[in-house]
Amino acid sequence: MSATILSGTETAAVVRGEVADRVATLGKASKQVGLATILVGDDPPSKIYVRNKHRAARKAGMISIDRHLPGTASQTDIERVIAELNADDQVDGMILQLPLPDGLDAEGAVETIQPTKDADGLHPFNLGLLVMGRPGPLPATPRGIMRILAHYDIATAGRTAVVVGRSFLVGRPMGLLLGQKGIDATVIQAHSRTRELAEVCRQADILVAAVGRSQMIDSDYVKPGATVIDVGINRDGEELVGDVDFDAVVEIAGAITPVPGGVGPMTIASLLANTVALAEARA
């Protein structure tokens, strides 16, 4: 039997509609919502992601501000632009597109973003709020995944969730969100030093793959009926493939996100949702 396909495209459309309504409500009170992006260098995928973020922001009725620095920009150059955007009243949220070119300190740069304008929810202050279970902008990709689970009524309480990956961008906040009060999954955080990874993953009712290794998670890693969330975006020639071997896993999982059209669209929708919430807080 084939798994239910968890469509990020469909879920993101719902979120983007909600965001557009909130932007329009703020507009009636003469508050425009502004999202700024900072791109350093000319990495082709990053350029596409940034372009898509601007397109989505404008479609939701936001002002979008695009700051593009050359690949030769220094740490000081980047932090100067961030300081300008921190001081710019038009900007409610900003994102620094990652990864930065080699030799630059991404975490150091993110720390200079004002936490109340941190649309990606990656500032240590906001990650601290997440650890404490207090409201704040959430890392966009994990926030989007939680929304997919809610949209498709996937039960989490008392379920075992295995998150493969522990990056500060995806894996670690994902584990925190799944384990927080009210969501109540029992979380196992796996990584490159985890022993018997397939066996660990087979315990999962909800399996999140955020590894960055093309189709690594095959049917051996999946318990029949499990919900499988594929965060990975890997390039195979012209094609985008996930961390999950979709064709094999779709036959045994209960539900699965495709790549593309799964987690990716939710990341942008969550970024917009964070930005409008920051704008509401400022208004």
Determine whether 28 is an active site residue.
Answer: no
Instruction: Give 58-123 as a 3 state SS string.
Output: HHCCCEEEEEEECCCCCHHHHHHHHHHHHHCCCCCEEEECCCCCCCCCHHHHHHCCCHHHECCCCC
Q: Determine which one of 92, 118, 120, 230 is catalytic.
A: 120
Given the complex with ligand NAP, which of 181 and 193 has the nearer CB atom? Answer: 193
Ranges within 206-265 binding ligand NAP (CB under 6 A): 210-213, 231-234, 263-264
Number of residues that bind ligand NAP (CB under 6 A): 25
Ranges within 95-114 binding ligand NAP (CB under 6 A): none
**Encoding tokens for residue 102?**
């080699």
Q: CB–CB of 27/62 below 8 Å?
A: no
CB of 209 to ligand NAP, least distance (A): 8
φ and ψ at residue 118, rounded to 5 degrees? -90, 85
Among 86, 174, 191, 185, which residue's Cα sits nearest to residue 130?
174
Binds ligand NAP (CB under 6 A): choice among 60, 119, 127, 164 = 164
193 binds ligand NAP (CB under 6 A): yes
Q: Which stretch binds ligand NAP (CB under 6 A): 19-27, 32-40, 109-117, 190-198?
A: 190-198
- DSSP class of residue 230 equals E
Q: Which residue is nearest to ligand NAP (CB)?
A: 167
Binds ligand NAP (CB under 6 A): choice among 32, 133, 192, 235 = 192
Q: Which stretch binds ligand NAP (CB under 6 A): 12-20, 112-120, 164-172, 177-185?
A: 164-172
Binds ligand NAP (CB under 6 A): choice among 47, 68, 191, 223 = 191
CB of 231 to ligand NAP, least distance (A): 4
Q: CB–CB of 272/19 below 8 Å?
A: yes
φ and ψ at residue 115, rounded to 5 degrees? -55, -30
Ranges within 78-97 binding ligand NAP (CB under 6 A): none
**Encoding tokens for residue 21?**
């309504």
What stretch of H or E contains 171? helix 171-179
- DSSP class of residue 220 equals G
For ligand NAP, the binding residues (CB under 6 A) are 141, 164-167, 169-171, 190-194, 197, 210-213, 231-234, 263-264, 267
Active site (catalytic) residues:
53, 97, 120
